[in-house]
Amino acid sequence: MSLDLDYQCTEEVDDSIVANDSSQEESEKIYYYENKHEIVTRVAFLCGVSDYHLNGENSAFLPDVISTLGSDEKALIVRNLCLLRNSIEHNFKKIAMAMSKDGRAFFGLIEFIPKPSLSYIEDHSIRLPTTSRNLTDILAEINRAISDRINNCKDIFPTWVNWNYIRELFVMPDGTKQAGMLKAASQFYENINYYPYKTYINWKPHEVGNLFKNDYFFMREVYEQHGDRVFHTSNLSDVSDGIKERIYDFLDNSSKTVLIVDCENADPYALCAMFRSLDESQIEKIDKVILYDDPKAASGWRFFEKYIGVNQSKIEHILIQRILDYKSLLDVKLTARVTKEFYKEKVESFVLVSSDSDFWGLMEEIPDAKFLVMIEHRKSSVELRKVLEEHNIFYCFADAFYTGMDDSLKKQAIFSELTAILDLKSFNARDLLEEVLVTTRVEMDQAEKNRFYDKYLKNMQLRVSKDGIVKLDIRK
């Protein structure tokens, strides 16, 4: 198995997906996925990849992530359990012989097992049967402890990751039974060079090189082992430094720049990722951000304003009322505003965020204005890209900026919207009790009502069925 962490991802991105630069040489083609190691660093840490490989001179694992996990109790428990399991898998015969024939205790075999790991889990109330002379008893308990505690690490990964696929990597099948441990050990020994850094995980070993070489490669392999190819590659991709430099050049060469957004044809989360990935000094060169929005459009744009790090005085959020439900005036209003900014306010450069090809007419009518266009892969047409290329208008993909580990904006938008909806569906439990008393003609004085409320209604519990049906249960 190759452990070459400098291996370049062979998933080459077509030039048309990157930017319109027909002069690019073959050697300058851009690779979106090769430099992301957020997911693999977390998995490698948890499954017990050694410190030598995690912190090695040529390691691509992320020191900041390792440092953060190194102070996270739930992550350290799983890591130390896995380190013990790896030591057992690598030295099973030697440890078993020392225990059964030489009468040595498991915790004393520090030449085979990491004593700090054993001490750590014992300090956190995980008791292994270390007095047993049967090593499989200890391994079974380690497997049980990992299975019980791995879910505590779910929040270490973003919500877009299929957690069940990650969790399964840590759980040895039938790992508390003799047959399961024997099967896993046999597969591990026979294919040890196909396991990442010779570290045990529950997967179907085969020759892939370094499974942990980058997030995209790792996620693709894990998903494919489940017959699943559906995951958001935009969460693993990032534009190259070359694209960012083109954006910086555009801003540097403009005395006045306005970023104008067609909210109906743009993703607030992708655009937020773009802002977060650019240098603050470059963002400051944007004089104004104008959002053209429909009153019924995604609430994510409200959060976009808060998260992009632009002074609020520079942001205009314009809601366009519809005269007819099926007809938006956004295109007309946006076009008129760009024209006004160019001729009246002397704005010479525009960053236009929209995948709508109708705006080509606007750019064509103001040939002296400079445009940088941000579109999205799934929304933009090939025809639009060709027209932009033919007229040497630089464009890039807003949804190619890295969003992988940061889904906070999406969560915040979801929670805010859920709260607003639930507020509309709320009711007063005391009023409900009064209604029921009238209906049932039961008489209670105020003290009795208070006792009933405190005992039964105050502690109602929410129950959500598998189909998502929400009900309230009253404890009787």
Rounded Cα–Cα distance for residues 450 and 457 (Å): 10
**Predicted pLDDT of residue 21:** 41
Per the CB < 8 A criterion, the answer to whether 263 and 298 are in contact is: yes
Beta carbons of 463 and 470 less than 8 angstroms apart: yes
**Beta bridge partners of residue 293, listed in sequence order:** 319
pLDDT score of 16: 34
- Correct CATH for 241-408 of 3.40.640.10, 3.40.50.720, 3.30.70.270, 3.40.50.1010: 3.40.50.1010
Tokens 């790896």 identify what position? 86
Which helix (H) or strand (E) covers residue 203, if one does?
none
Strand ordering across the sheet containing 288-293: 315-319, 288-293, 257-262, 349-353, 370-375, 395-397
Closest CA to 197 of 186, 211, 184, 207: 211
pTM of the model: 0.73
Tokens of 408: 């906070």
- At 31 the pLDDT is 46
Q: Are 357 and 379 in contact (CB under 8 A)?
A: no
- What are 347's two structure tokens? 């704005």
pLDDT < 70 positions in the chain: 1-34, 230-234, 237, 296-299, 323-327, 403-409
d(CA 417, CA 410) in angstroms, rounded, equals 11
- The CB density around residue 126, as the number of other CB atoms within 10 Å, is 18
The domains of the chain are located at 15-235, 241-408, 427-473
Region label for 198, one of left (φ > 0), alpha (ψ between -120 and 50) or beta (otherwise) = left
CB atoms within 10 A of CB 141: 18
Measured CA to CA, the distance from residue 439 to residue 458 in angstroms comes to 21
What's the rounded Cα separation, in Å, for the pair 301 and 291? 8
Closest CA to 76 of 42, 36, 112, 37: 42
State the pairing for strand pair 315-319/288-293: parallel
Strand pairing class (470-473; 461-464): antiparallel
For the purposes of burial, counting CB atoms within 10 Å of the CB of 366, is it exposed (0-12), middle (13-18) or buried (19 or more)? middle
pLDDT at 325: 61
